[in-house]
Each structure stands twice: as structure tokens, then as C-alpha cells.
Structure 1
Amino acid sequence: MLRRLVLLVSALAAFATAHAVPLADGVGTFTTDDGVVLHYDIAGTGAPAVFVHGGPGSGSAGFQAVAGDLFERDFRMVYLDQRGSGHSASAGNGDYSLERQVADLEALRRHLKIERWTVVAYSFGGLIAQSYAVKHPERVRAMIMGNVLLDLGMSMQSSYTHGLALIPEAARPSFDDAIPFPQRYFTVLGMLQKMGLSWQLQYASEASKRAAEAKVAGHDLGRNRDMGTKVFSGHPGSYFNDLIPSTAQVTVPVLVIDGQDDHAVGPQAERFAYPTMTRVTLPGRHNPFIDAPDAYRDAVHAFAKRHRLR
């Protein structure tokens, strides 16, 4: 009888710890051990989850405005602006390494006194989220990986190939094989931007593009883009490691959401080997939460309910 009581008390304590919500609504900041002030915003109900934005360096406010409501009925969302991004400060020492971003995530968890949380990642944020889950498995309850890239080289090749095809043939550049691939890649992306065509790698239609623009209109997205401009200015280090093989090490439940025509990332999810993985492929490109929001919300809700994450 005593043993049963002890086990019951332990189980209730574990449940309370996992579902505790010691988080106040609204914005906050904290300072990392190397002196960088990071900004976060908290919204939603349920157990805590941290959002790891992409870009690199896009900040979280845009995703929160566009897709926050798809998560916030199931999770208490913590939207972090990574160093050099959005409303957060730049790194005075220039450290935007993958390892430093992982350390910042863990520092935020300790700052908020969260025992374990669900890690939600989008796009480039997948590299950070995956690295965090491997380094701190005891702190991760589950993962939601939306249109993530875990192999940056594969993503760049896919974006380049499909981006080049979007440029009208008469204006399409012809590259000498001697030109380094990064130079060709950034040339194509720059041309798409100037020609107003880059949205076609992101959205399935102009209607989706307009819907996203309407949702972010009037929101303060933050002005810092230091990470985005500097992360590749030197040697990108671990960002170029292929992290897909490490998916086999992550044993918590993982929801993978991808767009059926997401050429910005390419077919990376076909190689993911998470032992407990639910994969949902939705109509759309790199932003199915805009192209197919109802189906996206249903996938998140079903996953949270199935694994009792709420």
C-alpha cells in the first residue's frame, strides 16, 4: 500500500511539473552569460513550448502574427527572438554559432524555470531545435518540426534549382562551372527578390502571399537582422553539418509538417528517422500554415492530444 502511494505521489508530481505554467503573458527579456539581451513573448494556454524561428535571423513576431493561433490553444508558446534577430540585441562578440544558439535556448528555459517543454521549429530553426534536442534530451517533451531543414546544403541546392527555373528564360543567368556555388545561390535569390518572384518559393498562390502580408500588417517585427547578415559572413561551422542522421537519436514524439511543394527545403523529411514520428504533408509550399491553415491547426491539435502535451 505504501509503495503504491509513493508511486501515485511521484506520478502526480511529474504530471504537475510537466503541465505547470509558471509563465506570465507578454514580453520579457533576459541576459545571456556573454552579455546579450534576448527578447521573448509569451501567449497561449497549455503546457510550455518554445518557438525556434528561421531566417536565419527573421525573429519570431512574424510567425506569431501569422500562425500563433494554430498553436496557442494547445500550448503556452514562448516566442524567442534569437540573438541578432527581431527585438533581441546583437552579439557584441559576433558569436552566432549553432552551439551558441543552443546555449541561448537552454538559458531561456532556466530563466523561465521550465522543467521540460515542447520544441516548435520552423525552417532554418530546425537546425537549432534538432541540435538542442540531441544535447538536452531530458528537457524536451516533444517536437513539432514545421518545414524544417536539417541539411542546409540540400536546402540551398533545392532553392537554387527551383529558383533559377522561376526566372524568365530571357533573363536567366548562365553560370560558369568555376563560379562557387554560394555565389550562384545568392545571385539567383537576389534576382528573384528584385524581380518580385521570391514569394513563389514560399507560397502556393498570390492569395496566400496577400493573406500573410495582411496578418503581419501593423505588427512590430523588430528591426535587428544582424544574425541574418553575419551568420554566413565567416565560416558557417556546424550549420552546414547534415543533422538528418541524428534524428534517430531523438526518442520523444515528433510531429513533422511539410508542404507537398516545398522547394525552399526540398524533400528532406523523407530521410528523417525519428523513432516516434508523425509526418503530415499538407498542400502548399514553405508556409502551409498559410496555404492550408485549418489542416495545419488540426495536425497540431491531434498531435498534442494524442501525446497528452496540453
Structure 2
Amino acid sequence: MESRLVVNGVRHWVRVVGDPRVRTPLVVVHGGPGGFIYDFERLTGPLLEQLGPVVYYEQRGSGRSDRPSDGRYDVPLLVDDLEQLRRQLDLPRVTLLGISFGGDLAAEYTVAYPERVDRLILQGTALAGPLTPSPWTSGFEAVATSDELRTAIRVAVAESGPGAVWEVVDRETTDRFLFHQPAVAQQIRGLWEESGLVNTGELAGALAKQPPRPVPLADDLAALDVPVLVLIGLWDRNAGVDACRDLATRLPRARLHVFHGSAHFPNAEEPAEYAAEVAAFLAD
């Protein structure tokens, strides 16, 4: 069932596969910020849909959801959007699967509404706080193919911070950063083009201006008794294996799985192993 649900004044794109009344649904929370779920829905979705009901949605100003007329974006509002969607869909409890930034958002929701979350899956996110060094600089330098690009990366970061690295790298370098298998990178790029969807950068830009969280998100999550599965590709230079391992160590009911043939998107690069790990977690 595909629909548009109005939440907090914004029309959100939502698709429900299966019957959420039969089993706790898996709600997929995409990354970006400002990304979309089109490629995940087509590559990984069919495998997860065999395990039970799945809910796909796209955040305000992202993908097929509308841009807020007032231009308002902040994490508490994104969390409330998800809660209002849960209520409209009449889902007593959910399992959240957060991808990259979506993992941060899923964790924020879990902290706000722990009684509504059955389990939490974090893919390619370390819930890193503002004091944690970003792995982007070293990661992009590792995949850069020229001294000129490596120098440009260092200069951009020195002048404007880690986020500036995305402004100086080209598409080829970005693909080497995000993917371990070039063929998968090409496949994902093809789906992005097929979708006709783009990340406008509006959501990411707005969140970048928000004040830092008063308490690290990982600290709040560690205080909860919620089962957590942390998924990370061995070659993920975006979140970093070490940071995700440390996160899994901190959370009282977490387990870590490392995919040895993947970078930031193990769901696309090792789909069978990915689905098997999710299935085992849901059945445990």
C-alpha cells in the first residue's frame, strides 16, 4: 500500500508491505540527511519483506515527501513526524532500521519513545558526538588517486571543517569512499538516476545549524534496555569500523556484525548476508 500521509502539515510518502497486524513491522529510516529510500526499497526490500511487514517512508523535504512550506527542519520535529506516522498507521510497536543518518534519527526516536520500539538496527552509523573526530578526511585521502586531490581535501578541511571535503571530491572518488565494489556503485547510481530524485541539501544544511545535543545520543541510548544490532562494512570510511565497534560495546544489549566485502552500504554489496543477519536478530 502506497500513500501520502499528512503529518505536522507536511505530506509524507509512505509504503507499507505486508500486514503490520500480524507481526511487529520493520520501519526503514533512510539517511542523507535529505536522501531517499528508492534504491533500498528495490535492492534490499524484497529480501526483508520475506521476513515480515516492512514500512518505508521518506522524511520531510526528502525523496517523494513534500518540502515543508515554512522550511522548518530539526531533529525533534523529524522524531515527531515518525511518531505521528506510527500513530496514523496504528502500529503499537516497531522495529527501526536506521541507515547512516537514519540510524541517528532512529536512535533519537528510541530515546524519545522506548516503549514503542521493539528492536533497533543501526547500519553504518556510530552515533558520533561533536567531540568525535570525523573519519571523512582520512577516508577520502585513502581513496584519492592524486596528490592534487589529497592536498585539496586537506586544505578544504583545514579552512572549513570536515564537511567541506564533500565539496572538493568528484563522483568517482565519492563512489570509492562509499562503496567497496565498483559494480554495486554503478548499480546504485543507476537507480538514483532512474528515480529522478535528488538530495537538495536543504535538510542537511538546516540540521548543521542546530545547536549540539546537550547529552551524547549514545549515552541516552545506553541507558535503555533495547536490543540493538550494529551493522558496519569493513571498508566503511564514512562511519568507521572502530567507532561502530565501540558503540556496540557501550550499549548493554547490542551486538556487532562486520561485513567483510562492503563499505557504507552492506545491504547492497552483500545482500544475502545482510538479510540473514537481520533475520537472525529479529528471531532472537
Deviation at 1:176, TM superposition (A): 8.3
Match of 2:159 in 1: 179
Identity %: 27
3-state secondary structure, aligned to 1:237: coil
Structure 2's unaligned 5+ residue stretches are: none
- Residue in structure 1 matched with residue 282 of structure 2 by the alignment: 304
Q: Does 1:193 align with 2:173?
A: no
2:181 corresponding residue in structure 1: 205
Larger radius of gyration: 1
Matched, 1:252 2:226: yes
Cα offset, 1:40, TM superposition: 0.9
Query: Once structures 1 and 2 are overlaid, which stretch shifts more, 61-70 or 40-49?
Result: 40-49
Q: Distance in 1 between matches of 2:272 and 2:84?
A: 34
Q: Cα distance 1:96–1:152, how it changes in 2: closer, same or farther (>3 A)?
A: farther
Q: TM-score, normalised by structure 2?
A: 0.86
Q: Which residue of 1 aligns with 2:7?
A: 32
* Equivalent in the alignment of 2:125: 148
Secondary structure of the equivalent of 1:245?
helix
Relative distance call for 1:303 and 1:237 in structure 2 (3 A) is same
Shift of 1:291: 2.0
Task: Identify the residue that residue 12 of structure 1 maps to in structure 2.
Answer: none
Q: How does 1:10-49 map to 2 (within 5 A)?
A: 26-33=1-8, 35-44=9-18, 46-49=23-26
- One-letter code aligned to 1:39: W
Q: Which residue of 2 aligns with 1:11?
A: none
CA 210–83 in structure 1, closer or farther in 2 if over 3 Å, else same = same
Quick one: distance in 1 between partners of 2:201 and 2:157? 31
* Partner in structure 2 of residue 275 of structure 1: 252
Aligned-residue offset at 1:221: 5.5
For the Cα contact (< 8 Å) 2:119–2:226, is it kept in 1? yes
After superposition, residues 2-81 of structure 1 pair within 5 angstroms as 26-33=1-8, 35-44=9-18, 46-81=23-58
**Number of equivalent positions:** 274
Deviations 1:273-307 (A, max 9, x none): 2222121111111011122211111101111122x
* Cα RMSD, aligned residues only: 2.5
Q: 1:144 to 1:75 in 2, by over 3 A?
A: farther
Read off the aligned partner of 1:67 and give its amino acid letter: T
What are the ranges of 5 or more consecutive residues in structure 1 without an aligned counterpart? 1-25
TM-score scaled by structure 1? 0.80
SS of the residue 1:179 aligns to: helix
Q: Distance in 1 between matches of 2:5 and 2:157?
A: 47
* Equivalent position of 2:237 in the other structure: 263
Shift, 1:84, TM fit? 0.5
- Amino acid corresponding to residue 245 of structure 1 in structure 2: D
Distance 2:27 2:279 in 1: 16
